[in-house]
A = this chain, B = another copy of it.
Amino acid sequence: MKEGPDIAQIGALIGDPARANMLAALTGGKALTATELAAVGGITLQTASAHLSKLEAGGLLLPRKQGRHRYFTLADETVARLIESMMGFAASRGHLRHQPGPKEPALRKARICYDHLAGDYGVRMLDSLVARGAIDAIGDGVALSAKGEETFQCIGINVADLKASRRPLCRSCLDWSERRAHLAGSLGKALLANFFDKGWARRTAGSRSVIFSPDGERQFLALFPVETPVAA
């Protein structure tokens, strides 16, 4: 029968635990070396090298040589979206990890999805922006509203600059922990970068989770309030 594109290839690529761990780690957005990825996968460097070759050949990873290091990143935002959507699906089917672990709550609260904010805080931010009228949303679709530009100007983001890029300004990305959309695209990226610049939050060393400072958290929550439901 063999109809359409070959999903088995990429399924198999993602289907190996070591490779899946590497991909999940790279969804954190940072470029990682082969050695680091070997540690993530829990395998030796030789084995990791073979895995990375396969992922690269499959078009999932992009290597960048820098001195004697080889840094790997996800090839594309679409790869990140695929991984996240598979995580969402896996979570919905109960394919969870054996140990929820202490890092799990932090991950659900705020984490990096490729280059933008995800988790509870990511979803909250989008909700708040929609409620405020800065972003229009229909279903899973999102777009900058007419009056949105000035909102972001206040936050400290020049939307005009972002529009110059070929990359879509607004994209919705399904959050695996919240099962709702958060904001991706160049605007999502700019917002997260903005939080880092202001010192509101920082990345963590070996994880995808984002840690807010006490003060940063206060300001973030104030900037993106959630509507208090007055009437059901």
Residues of A within 8 A of B (CB): 1-17, 19-21, 23-25, 39-40, 58-60, 78-79, 82-83, 85-97, 99, 101, 103, 107, 136-143, 168, 170-172, 176-177, 206-208
Contacts and interface: CB of A to CB of B under 8 A. Distances in A.
A4 B87 contact: yes
Contact of A86 (B82, B96, B107, B207): B82
Contacts of A25: 1, 3
Contacts of A7: 14, 20, 23-24, 83, 86-87, 90, 95
Given A139-B172, A141-B142, A107 B4 contact: yes
A16 B13 CA distance: 10
Contact of A1 (B21, B87, B93, B139): B21
B208 A3 contact: yes
B20 A95 contact: no
Contacts of A6: 20, 90, 95-97
Contacts of A177: 4
Nearest to A76: B92
A97 B5 contact: yes
Contacts of A60: 93
B11 A14 contact: yes
A20 B8 contact: yes
A201 to B, nearest CB: 18
Contacts of A95: 5-7, 9-10, 58-59
A20 to B, nearest CB: 4
A10 B93 contact: yes
A225 to B, nearest CB: 23
